[in-house]
Amino acid sequence: MRLMFGVVICFCSMWLVEGVAAHQLGLDGPGKTSFLLQLTQILSVHGAIVLSTWYVLASEGISWSAAFGFARETNGRAIRMGIIAALVFLPVGMVLQWASGEVLSWLHINLAEEQAVRSLREANSWLSRGLMTVFAVVIAPVAEEILFRGVFYAAIKQMGYPRLALWGTSLFFALIHGDLGIFVPLTVLAVVLAKLYERTDNLWANIAAHATFNICGVVMVFLTEHGKVNPS
């Protein structure tokens, strides 16, 4: 419980600091969602998750292995299960995204692409694209799985609300990505990730699944951008 509140407080504080910094630097005005702002958000928000988790665990004398199930004898199996789970879910997620797009189009609702995806697509140098790829494949999976499955899901479930833990964290996970077109597939993905954590009791499975899913997304963005894949 203390871990959850500690991470939340630090997460919100760093989000506030990032917002103030972006405003002072003049990066948050119309048309100013720059790569620098994206990098600031990545380092502040996702960094706050990992650092606050480390601080609370260290203050409680709890190891990362004990908190998140990391164990040398099961890590390999967990990673393999995570990769397989992501690859199995990928076509399901693509169908759900297509169906969501059709429904939203029928309702005449304009879709706004997720900011991270838009920044990756619009990056004008290999350095910026490389940094955004590292974020998508390494930083985001680690930080978000610690926060949503390792902290929020586990804490709420331990409080005696397993359904709220499953659906509340899944909906929140989809919501923070800020893309209505992928809200449904991300919600379903989050449910799969929660069940995966239950099955393996090792957060490496979730990190591997999340990273694999994001790798596929990054590849699709690059291929679409270069005209090798016809966008739907």
With a pLDDT cut of 90, the percent of the chain lying above it is 38
Domain coordinates in residue numbering, the chain: 1-62, 70-225
The predicted pLDDT at position 126 comes to: 78
Question: Tell me: the pLDDT tens digits for 3-22?
Answer: 555 555 555 554 554 444 44
Contacts of 184 (CB under 8 A, 6+ apart): 96, 97, 99, 100, 174
- State the Cα–Cα distance between residues 195 and 189, nearest whole angstrom: 10
Question: Tell me: the pLDDT tens digits for 99-128?
Answer: 998 898 888 777 666 666 666 666 667 777
**pTM as predicted:** 0.82
Residue 221 or residue 75, greater confidence: 75
How crowded is residue 36: how many other Cβ atoms within 10 Å of its Cβ?
13
Question: Tell me: the pLDDT tens digits for 138-169?
Answer: 988 999 999 899 989 998 998 899 999 999 99
Which of 209, 2, 39 is closest to 132 using CA atoms? 39
Question: Tell me: the pLDDT tens digits for 202-216?
Answer: 999 999 999 999 999
